């Protein structure tokens, strides 16, 4: 609920002013939040946004790559696979699970925490969907299944199905007191996968650049800071349900991504567009892709037609917001350029200079 400024001024002399204004500007009560993980790429952003809001944070992880020690953060050392004794004897308002990949892990911690946390937030993935043939799919779309639901191996084939089983475990244990977050590709400062980073980084280098598909192809991702802000809303308001977290379909295209990267970097590469058939035939997209590949993009028809057009309407209705594409690009590049030079000599995603040069020659021939 909010009031236009002129209406607030009109109310200022009224005896009811205090009663009306108090709930509008009430300060959020500090919450006790447990994060199962809290390291790596997304965890530190959750820690930052929640601790900055005054919430008391506890991190449970193996202690192998904790972020810099921050005043007021409680560190509990343990392993999702056991032992988890460090979680005993504590109570929290909300738990965020951003490190659950197997249902056995989730059940182990979830059962122990029952009665000691009021709400469970599980970070899943849009990989839980059975397929991406249909554009505009929402949270009610058919989910993936595993040929062997007892598998403990996490790989490209089992990842989505295992996340489905993790979601079900949380929902069975916590019922209406849980939130399932399904992010798409996550971008922004700290993204060690380089999947988003590759595109503005490559634009910045100039020259002739190979790009997939057409300028109008949709490009869907979520800035990690926007994800963290939505997580904060879920924590503070106990928002229950299942939510796809991604930018609005067609709000970003391959063309707008590259053009905005040009604007941010000041570079002006020549963009040469390659057809999906060319990419598949040369094994830089599709089942036969080897080594480096062109990340995030997908063809606009066929089995992946809906992978870049997932509906975010449910999350937007609950308060998911987005910073500008320029901001994500600029901040991602600033982070990438500040890391050790060897990290940028060979990114984990995208084409190597030699590979791209050979492909461009082949394309022109």
> pTM for this structure?
0.90
The packing angle between helices 103-113 and 159-174, to 10°, is: 20
Give the C-alpha separation, 51 to 68, whole Å: 14
pLDDT band at 176, cuts 50/70/90?
very high
Residue 195: CB partners within 8 Å, gap ≥ 6? 185, 187, 295, 296, 348, 349
- How is the chain split into domains, by residue range? 1-28, 124-364
Q: The domain at 124-364 falls in which architecture?
A: 3-Layer(aba) Sandwich (3.40)
Give the C-alpha separation, 268 to 189, whole Å: 23
- Which of 14-18, 304-308, 325-329 is the least confident region? 14-18
**Mind listing the pLDDT tens digit for each residue in 116-174?**
999 999 999 999 999 999 999 999 999 999 999 899 899 989 999 999 999 999 999 99
Asked if the bond preceding 83 is cis, omega within 30° of 0, the reply is yes
pLDDT band at 27, cuts 50/70/90?
low
How far apart, in Å, are the Cα atoms of 225 and each of 191, 255, 332? 12, 23, 11
How far apart, in Å, are the Cα atoms of 308 and each of 305, 327, 344, 362? 7, 21, 26, 28
Read off the pLDDT of each residue in 282-290 and give the average, rounded to a whole number. 82
User: Is 276 exposed, middle or buried, given 0-12, 13-18 or 19+ CB atoms closer than 10 A?
Assistant: buried
How far apart, in Å, are the Cα atoms of 290 and each of 33, 68, 196, 266, 303? 42, 36, 19, 32, 20
**At 327, which helix (H) or strand (E)?**
helix 325-338
**Mind listing the pLDDT tens digit for each residue in 62-107?**
877 655 557 789 999 999 888 899 999 999 999 999 999 999 999 9
The packing angle between helices 325-338 and 198-205, to 10°, is: 80
Largest CA distance in the chain: 80
Backbone angles phi, psi at 208, to 5 degrees: -85, 135
Nearest Cα neighbor of 178 from 112, 107, 127, 242 is 242
């Amino acid at each position: 609920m909010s009031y236009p400024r002129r209406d607030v001024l009109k109310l200022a002399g009224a005896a009811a002013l205090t009663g009306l204004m108090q709930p509008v500007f009430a300060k959020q009560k500090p919450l006790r939040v447990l994060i199962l993980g809290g390291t790596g790429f997304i965890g530190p952003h959750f820690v930052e946004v929640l601790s900055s809001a005054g919430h008391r944070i506890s991190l449970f992880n193996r202690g192998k790559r904790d972020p810099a020690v921050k005043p007021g953060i409680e560190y509990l050392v343990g392993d999702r696979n056991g032992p988890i004794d460090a979680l005993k004897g504590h109570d929290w308002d909300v738990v965020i699970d951003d490190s659950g990949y197997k249902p056995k892990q989730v059940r182990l911690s979830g059962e122990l925490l029952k009665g000691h946390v009021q709400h469970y937030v599980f970070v899943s993935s849009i990989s839980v969907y059975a397929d991406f043939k249909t554009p505009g799919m929402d949270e009610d779309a058919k989910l993936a299944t595993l040929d062997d639901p007892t598998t403990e191996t996490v790989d490209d084939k089992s990842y989505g199905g295992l996340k489905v089983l993790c979601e079900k475990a949380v929902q069975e244990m916590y019922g209406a007191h849980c939130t399932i977050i399904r992010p798409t590709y996550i971008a922004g400062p700290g993204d060690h996968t380089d999947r988003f980073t590759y595109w503005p980084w490559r634009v910045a280098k100039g020259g002739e650049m190979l790009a997939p598909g057409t300028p109008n192809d949709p490009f869907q991702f979520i800035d990690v800071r926007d994800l963290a802000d939505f997580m904060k809303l879920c924590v503070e308001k106990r928002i229950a349900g299942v939510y796809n977290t991604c930018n609005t379909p067609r709000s970003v295209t391959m063309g707008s991504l590259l053009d905005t990267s040009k604007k941010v970097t000041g570079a002006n590469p020549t963009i040469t567009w390659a057809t999906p058939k060319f990419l598949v035939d040369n094994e830089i997209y599709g089942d036969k892709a080897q080594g480096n590949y062109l990340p995030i993009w997908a063809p606009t028809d066929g089995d992946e037609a809906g992978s870049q057009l997932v509906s975010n309407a449910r999350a937007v209705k609950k308060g998911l917001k987005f910073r500008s594409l320029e901001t994500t690009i600029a901040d991602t590049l600033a982070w990438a350029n500040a890391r050790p030079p060897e990290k940028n000599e060979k990114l984990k995603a995208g084409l190597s200079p030699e590979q791209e040069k050979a492909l461009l020659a082949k394309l022109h021939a």
